[in-house]
Structure formats: C-alpha cells, structure tokens
Structure 1
Amino acid sequence: MVTITTETATADRWDDVQRALIGGGDDASCQCIWPMLRNKDWNATTTPQRKEMLRAEIDAGPPPGIVAYVDGEAAGWICIGPRTRQARVLHTRMIAAATTEPFDDGSVWAVTCYVVRREHRGLGVNRELLRAAVAYARTSGARLIEGYPVDTGGETVRSNDLYHGALSTFLSAGFEERTPMKPGRALVALALRP
C-alpha cells in the first residue's frame, strides 16, 4: 500500500517540482510553461528559459500547481490556476468555441497539465492531484474550474497525449462534461460556488 500526499508548489518545493516534471514525458523541456504562452512566444523560448520562467512564477506566487508525493517522493504535478493567467487557453479556438465563461473572469480556473512519473503510474496519483487542485481552487476563491481532458474511450493512449488528463478522472471527481471540442477532447467544468 502506498501513501499519496499533495502540496502546493511553493518556492521551497522547487526541487520536488523539478523531480515531478522529469520522468513523465515531454515536461522536462516544457516545464509546464506551455499553457502560459501563446505559440509564437513558446517557440521563441528554450528549455532553460522555460525553467527560469516557471521558477519566477513559483517564486512570485500564488503557486501555479500542486506536487504529488508517493511515499514521500515527488511523483506528479498538476497545473491549476486562474484561466486569465494561462495565455494559451485564452487563444485556443476550440476552447473559445466551447466555453460559456468570459475569458476575463479571474474566478474561472483551469486545469491544463498533468505529469506523473513513469514509476508511479497506475497508483491513483492523477485522482489525488485533481482532488487537491479542486480544494486549492476552492480555498483560493475560484467560482468554477474548467478542464480540457482526453476521452480515451477505454483505449490505451500514449502518455504524452494525456497531459490534459483523462475524461474519466474528471468525471469521477464530479466535473460535468459540457461541450465536445473535437473528437476525443471535451470541455468539462466543476462549479465551486454560485
């Protein structure tokens, strides 16, 4: 039996954030900055620049994500925060067409990235990360959380294609499927307060 715990990604957890982001796919190079930048800005950055951007974001606060631990070892990451701070979301046409929420509403938060280290997959880390993200958003004043997960349809999907999360994880956490965005992708939402 393993023990899974979670903590917000604060400056004193920088080494844990880095451990969580490696060993899980593309995220060592992405540094979870992809959701924060428009394509043209993303293409103009290097991995070391992205790493420094993430460090600066964590140092400035509020925490842009949560780290999961399996038996005390950093094992996973989820990016959660106000949608207004995630430039790629604001400029993604399929999200713009699917959402009913105004993009300038800071009380709408978004889950945009998951990472789980290979050796910790299949243990429920994603579920615990999402549970912690919902609690964090709620205590931070979010009104609603959106996610843009992959509907695997019960099929095996490459882990690099699951960084948005799996639809089944969101549905089991109480999110409602609102709008299909394209085949295999849906916008889901969870209302936290009226």
Structure 2
Amino acid sequence: MLASRDGQVVGWAAVAPRSELPIARSRTIPVLDDLPVWSVWCIRVRPGHRGQGVSHALLEGATAYAYEQGAPAVEGYPVDNQGQRVDLTMAFVGTRALFEAHGFVVAAPTSSVSNGFPRVLVRHHPDGGGAG
C-alpha cells in the first residue's frame, strides 16, 4: 500500500495474510486462533511528511484492502510506548495509539520488544469490533 503526495511516494504499509509471513512462525508473537487473519506489520513515512496523518491514511487503507480481499479480521503488532517517543528506525511496527485510533483493540500481550517497548497484538474486525 503506497501513499503519495504531489506525485511523490511519501509512505507505504505492508499488508498480507498472516499465514504468508514469517511472523506466523514467531516465538514471541502469539497466534490467537485459526482465523485466517491478515496482518499490517510495517508502516513507513518519509522524513518531511511525518506528523501529517500519512500513517493514519496508510493503516486505514491497508485495513480496507485486507477486507476487500476477504480477510475476516486484521491484526497488527505495534509497540505499547504509552506516549513516549519511539526511535524512528523502530517505529515501523506502529504504535498502540495509532492502531486504537482506527478501531483495533488489544487482543493479547506478546513477549516481543522493540526499542525497549513491549509489543502487543491488536485486532480489528469488519463489524468494528476488536478481539473476537
């Protein structure tokens, strides 16, 4: 998923069925159930375009795309930074606040850590509900 402004790519989000990703075999991020969920696992915004809603648009677009492709639910694995600053090189997984702003809810803790912050498993359902 790409975001562009004035003909220039300013960000991208990675979204695909979880079963096709290495994260499906992760020892630190749990598999909640056998639902064939899709995952949004990486969101990047170019310098000079941050803080302008690009990551929000990317997450919204990636989630919509997953549902258009038949996903029964969408997951993410953001850091739970509790409002603290996250190093930009490690912010690619997104923040809990970003995902929650789009209707995702925490479905499970993980044992994964990024930039010193714990990561959580968040889930979104097409009916607007979170964990199922």
- Short-chain TM bin: 0.7 to 0.9
Structure 2 residue 69 is matched with structure 1 residue 140: yes
Amino acid in structure 2 at the alignment position of 1:136: Y
Task: State how 1:68-87 maps to structure 2 within 5 Å.
Answer: 68-86=3-21
Equivalent position SS for 1:78: strand
Task: State how 1:33-72 maps to structure 2 within 5 Å.
Answer: 66-72=1-7
CA deviations on 1:58-80 (whole Å, 9 max, x unpaired) are xxxxxxxx001123310001000
Larger radius of gyration: 1
Q: Give yes or no for contact 1:83–1:90 (8 Å, CA) kept in 2.
A: yes
Which residue matches 1:38?
none
Within 2, Cα distance between the matches of 1:153 and 1:113? 19
Structure 1: gaps of 5 or more residues: 1-65
Structure having the higher helix fraction is 1
Equivalent position SS for 2:79: coil
Q: Which residue of 153, 161, 181 corresponds with 2:82?
A: 153
Structure 2 residue 57 is matched with structure 1 residue 111: no
Which residue matches 1:128?
57
Equivalent position SS for 2:89: helix
Task: State how 1:154-193 maps to structure 2 within 5 Å.
Answer: 154-182=83-111, 184-192=118-126
Number of corresponding residues:
123
CA deviations on 1:123-152 (whole Å, 9 max, x unpaired) are 111000011011101111000111000112
Q: Give yes or no for contact 1:101–1:108 (8 Å, CA) kept in 2.
A: no
Q: Give yes or no for contact 1:70–1:120 (8 Å, CA) kept in 2.
A: no
Q: CA deviation at 1:176?
A: 0.7
Equivalent position SS for 1:115: strand
Amino acid in structure 1 at the alignment position of 2:7: G
Structure having the higher strand fraction is 2
Within 2, Cα distance between the matches of 1:130 and 1:121? 14
Within 1, Cα distance between the matches of 2:25 and 2:68? 27
Q: Identity percentage over the alignment? A: 36
Within 2, Cα distance between the matches of 1:93 and 1:108? 18
Amino acid in structure 2 at the alignment position of 1:78: A
CA deviations on 1:162-186 (whole Å, 9 max, x unpaired) are 1111111100000011112145210
Structure 2: gaps of 5 or more residues: 112-116
Within 1, Cα distance between the matches of 2:26 and 2:19? 13
User: Over aligned residue pairs, what C-alpha RMSD do you find?
Assistant: 1.6
Q: Give yes or no for contact 1:177–1:186 (8 Å, CA) kept in 2.
A: yes
TM-score (norm 2): 0.86
